[in-house]
Amino acid sequence: MGVFSSRKIAQACERNLAFIAIVGTERPDFRTISDCRKLHLDAFREVFVQVLRIAGAAGMVKLGKVATDGTKLQGNASRHKAMSYGYMRKEVDRLREDIEALVTRAYQQDAEDDAALGSRRGDELPAELARREARLATIEAAMQRLEARAKADAEAERQQRAAAEAARQRRGPKRRGKVRTPVQETPDDKAQTNFTDPELQIMRTNNKGWEYCGNAQVRVDAAHQIIVACDVTAEANDKQQAAPMAQRTMAHLRQAGIATPTDATGAAQKIPATYDSGYYSEAAAIAVEQGGFEPYMATGRQRHRAPEAEVPEPPVTATERMAAKVQTPEGRALYARRKVIVEPVFGQIKEARGFRRFLLRGLDNIRGEWRLVCLTHNLLKIWRYGWGPSAA
């Protein structure tokens, strides 16, 4: 019903007849509701599969085609509680100077206290010094996170360059232009991290602003917009999410007892799966196909009413082959359905139900919260399909 706050749910259990009909005389406190959500995040994983099993038994999961997409949802983290790597280095130097000055002052004070107090104690850690030491430890931990992330990004960049160079050598022509700059393992001075929720990264939102967000992923079946898999990642780019979502979908289908399509001989058929251009890479397409799906991925962003890009005849590279596949009559018909399969699901969750930001902190907690939102989406679909006003 679009009520996510535990306090508002507790109030509705006392004032709203629909809520009172559910809880009866046992009206929970808002802390009980909040703790239930936080303490049972892992249990929602099994509940999601159980709801998917009910949808499959009701014939609402056909697996004729599926579509995958992601949306940015604001996290429970403030932009004002963030700091750049360059400012962190300056702040660390300043704090160390302050701590050294405070320690020197503390020694001087100890000497004065010894003269005044004699054998009595007077060596407690000053509150000002303790606060600076705690702040220094927090900033140094944030710097270590940024440095670890920079090393991981540098390793990924090296692998990407090696793969591109290997593909270029297979084609024959040498690389032209300026020599690439060496891969840097140290963070850029403008790289930021958040102290409130360090696992989230700042991402560009639809209103052209910047917020600390989680990238919420869903895979939706075309028949009745049932979500068959969901996840949240801290990566703004969707390119690395195609393969994990394919694996998660197959795992959920097996757990829910939903059979995948087969041909007349009983052999497994690949399920058509559509993705926008943000998901495409040669490795992602191969992984999705190996996972039991027939990928139809846009290889580039195309403006509305713009002429379609011409594909070389015959296509040579993997990107050209995928572009040619999407532009076939079958591919264009399948891809045209993507926006009416998966995008309305985000509209129903964010606009109709009003879920626009996460309440919990930490990536694992956010994933559990998103799983709860997605399984209730499926429950609403099942109710409207079998017992809702539309069914009558």
Same domain, 137 and 208: no
Tokens of 335: 């891809």
Strands 271-275 and 66-74: parallel
pLDDT of 240 higher than 80: yes
Does residue 392 sit within a domain? no
Same domain, 209 and 104: no
pTM of the model as a whole:
0.78
Pair 153, 128: CB distance under 8 Å: no
CA 199/CA 195 separation, integer angstroms = 9
Amino acid 344: pLDDT? 94
Site of tokens 């596949």: 325
Average pLDDT over residues 113-118: 62
Same domain, 94 and 9: no
Which tens digit of pLDDT belongs to each residue from 147-177? 887 888 888 778 877 877 777 777 666 666 6
CA 41/CA 53 separation, integer angstroms = 19
Same domain, 152 and 28: no
Residues 6+ apart with CB under 8 A from 172: none
Same domain, 370 and 338: yes
Same domain, 205 and 132: no
User: Is residue 83 within a helix (H) or strand (E), and if so which, with residue range?
Assistant: strand 82-84
Long-range CB contacts (< 8 A, 24+ apart) of 253-260?
A: 253/52, 253/63, 253/228, 255/49, 255/53, 256/49, 256/50, 256/52, 256/53, 256/56, 257/53, 257/56, 258/52, 258/53, 258/56, 258/61, 258/63, 260/63, 260/292
Instruction: Give me the percent of the chain exceeding a pLDDT of 90.
Output: 43
Same domain, 45 and 8: no
Does residue 89 sit within a domain? yes
Does residue 391 sit within a domain? no
Q: Which of 194, 221, 243 is the last residue of a domain?
A: 194
Does residue 221 sit within a domain? yes
pLDDT of 251 higher than 80: yes
CA distances from 48 to 58, 174, 367 (A): 15, 51, 12
CA proximity to 171, closest of 318, 73, 71, 365:
318
pLDDT of 246 higher than 90: yes
Same domain, 376 and 240: yes
Does residue 334 sit within a domain? yes
Q: Which domain holds residue 188?
A: 80-194
Same domain, 103 and 62: no
CA proximity to 295, closest of 243, 259, 258, 344:
243
Does residue 324 sit within a domain? yes
Q: Which of 130, 164, 194 is the last residue of a domain?
A: 194
Domain total in the chain: 3
Same domain, 188 and 288: no
Amino acid 65: pLDDT? 93
Amino acid 304: pLDDT? 56
Does residue 21 sit within a domain? yes
Q: Which of 194, 222, 244 is the last residue of a domain?
A: 194
Which tens digit of pLDDT belongs to each residue from 266-317? 888 999 999 998 999 889 999 999 999 999 999 887 665 555 556 557 777 8
Same domain, 228 and 321: yes
Which tens digit of pLDDT belongs to each residue from 312-346? 577 778 888 898 999 899 999 999 999 999 999 99
Pair 233, 241: CB distance under 8 Å: yes
